[in-house]
Structure 1
């Protein structure tokens, strides 16, 4: 794909890291710009529909908003290099994509906003300099930061839940570190779509902000190396002396990765089930028209769902976006043969993830004109 793309993104943005990494790893030429540039408001926003990042402008002028859509654009055009061939690995890759972009928001928000003595000046610098130098810049910075601080609370981080959020994150970090002792990427020797999804919270929030970055460096060095590796164009595996070049053979999903998913399932599964129930009730009561916006600031407000996590009641925003991504896992599973489904069933049972296959909304979400809408 000749020519240079424009990626409207911000270094400290969770979702930007996912798309940026994909461009880097596939050596796709791009120039990164902040949404504070006048070109974003004048040229990009009318086509992108929402002022969210990342948003990509191709050399031909096509505007693609949202990291999942950006990756899908390149995957569809290049033979899907980041989709493993085997059904078990396909399901696991797609599942990590959902977990990374939606299932780890709670620790990502907690470790960014609840350690101001370590993080505040670092974060404030990035929020401030994502905007043009105008008389209103300081005021806008405080407003943006306060809005994101509030987001940490609505994702379920409170004084009461703080301890369980931290303990679960540390267990996840330890399990992921043990996996990366053996392999440089989730499914072997090259990144899958799930690696890019997982990088979203693990780079900008948990791998760059001073407090969680130090925690990762000191407690999970191999995870930190993976974060570095995902931002390098080469394979970057000098510490693996018998490195391969492809996904693991025979559709293998290592026990070390099953252990990671088993920890993540404790949080991801009950929240997904609670959110599905809440959103389905909302759909029955509100009956949104086909084509109406389902995700983002133009969508109708919904509310929160409650679930239990290790004896702690968590109340978190119920987000349709999780189910837009989860549809890909469920659609992949539905298309499998009987024998392949049985193999996947066994794998997900071992991970504690079986319920996500049936955690569906009563209305599908599709993408139309750069927006995720109700079908």
Structure 2
């Protein structure tokens, strides 16, 4: 890749995972330009280095190509003294938890509210999918194909007519709890964003905070969440409604009761699906015995590992088992292992209050690593 004076972010406006990386770049004050993945340079120059045709992809001023929002954030954190990584034990674990929740645990409502409200969303989505494609005779056909593919992906994530009511019920409970928490603080852990905020913005911006149907719902039912979505895309603190704001994370490793309530709502869905997905992937590992260094990622909605079946409030849900959930869970477990015994006990007590303590023990039988812009089996 050619050298440049600034970073280049390849993505699309309506992409869930692009929103995570974009927000980080904005909040960190890194100068960048954003280019569509439909830009001719993506296929010609970026894809050979990024290896997989997924977004976001960051090209550094030195020409280095970094694929995946998590890898982009890790790269920028590592060269800037980790400004958005809480240093205290409970806050660090909670930050990573919300990164997991945002990138894996809220995919069902994100997909449901995007694809199951066609009267409100169809024109908006058509515009964005069309304009993410380069101009060519098959532009409309390609756009329709991509929309159909994404709608199919939603079904694989567990979005069906049978689950729709349950998905909405859980999402509204989450919105209510998060809205209450954000009445006290502008960000999850106090007065500045954490890695967890960037994970959570992924579904709450591109899908749930922009698409007409869920945006209307958020603005009417959870105005403080809507403000947080705006705030996460502003370079400054953007908290004028807080008249005596601080500038850092909450003191004394504090986790407010309002945030415990948010995590308690999310645990009800996150824990059983994580258990089920681990069982599916571990069986796949037994059956396939992948060589070390083999890619652990499939293409969008590819049934690489199989479907995870679990029960939620008496209803059965079937959702695609995906390895990325365990990339972040593995990071959380490694953070926990590095804590002192007293700190570990504090984290364990907190997770027990939220119903999330089993996440410390749910593991794949093989660890995951990162090589050549891909998650790989070690």
Using the size of structure 2 for normalisation, the TM-score is 0.98
Q: Select between 288-297 and 353-362 the one with higher mean Cα deviation.
A: 288-297
Q: 1:70-85 alignment to 2 at 5 Å?
A: 70-85=72-87
1:279-332 deviation line (CA, Å, top 9, x unaligned): 111111111111111013298822101000111100000001100111110000
Q: 1:355-366 alignment to 2 at 5 Å?
A: 355-366=358-369
Residue in structure 1 matched with residue 304 of structure 2 by the alignment: 301
1:160 to partner: Cα distance: 1.1
2:189 to 187, 190, 197: 187
Structure 1 residue runs of 4 or more that deviate by more than 3 Å after TM superposition: none
CA contact (8 A) 1:156 1:315 kept: yes
Residue in structure 2 matched with residue 26 of structure 1 by the alignment: 28
1:213-268 deviation line (CA, Å, top 9, x unaligned): 00000000000000000000000000001100000000001100000000000000
Distance 1:168 1:357 in 2: 23
Question: Is 2:328 aligned against 1:353?
Answer: no
Structure 1 residue runs without a partner (length 5+) = none
CA contact (8 A) 1:99 1:198 kept: yes
Residue in structure 2 matched with residue 229 of structure 1 by the alignment: 231
Distance 2:251 2:125 in 1: 42
CA contact (8 A) 1:8 1:56 kept: yes
Q: Select between 277-286 and 339-348 the one with higher mean Cα deviation.
A: 277-286
Residue in structure 1 matched with residue 278 of structure 2 by the alignment: 276
1:27-66 deviation line (CA, Å, top 9, x unaligned): 1000000011111111100000011110000010000000
Residue in structure 1 matched with residue 201 of structure 2 by the alignment: 199
Distance 1:3 1:135 in 2: 35
Question: Is 2:344 aligned against 1:329?
Answer: no
Structure 2 residue runs without a partner (length 5+) = none
Distance 1:96 1:201 in 2: 12
> How many residue pairs end up in the alignment?
374
Using the size of structure 1 for normalisation, the TM-score is 0.98
Question: Is 2:57 aligned against 1:44?
Answer: no
Distance 1:319 1:236 in 2: 35
Residue in structure 1 matched with residue 343 of structure 2 by the alignment: 340
1:158-178 deviation line (CA, Å, top 9, x unaligned): 111111110000000000000
CA contact (8 A) 1:18 1:197 kept: yes
Residue in structure 1 matched with residue 178 of structure 2 by the alignment: 176
Distance 1:154 1:84 in 2: 34
Distance 1:144 1:300 in 2: 18
Residue in structure 2 matched with residue 260 of structure 1 by the alignment: 262
CA contact (8 A) 1:12 1:126 kept: yes
Distance 2:39 2:153 in 1: 25
Distance 1:301 1:22 in 2: 30
Question: Is 2:55 aligned against 1:56?
Answer: no
Residue in structure 2 matched with residue 251 of structure 1 by the alignment: 253
Distance 1:38 1:153 in 2: 31
Residue in structure 2 matched with residue 311 of structure 1 by the alignment: 314
Distance 1:318 1:206 in 2: 22
RMSD: 1.1
Distance 1:77 1:296 in 2: 30
1:326-365 deviation line (CA, Å, top 9, x unaligned): 1110000011110000000000000111011111100011
CA contact (8 A) 2:298 2:304 kept: no
1:68-118 deviation line (CA, Å, top 9, x unaligned): 000000101111111111100000000100110111000000000000000
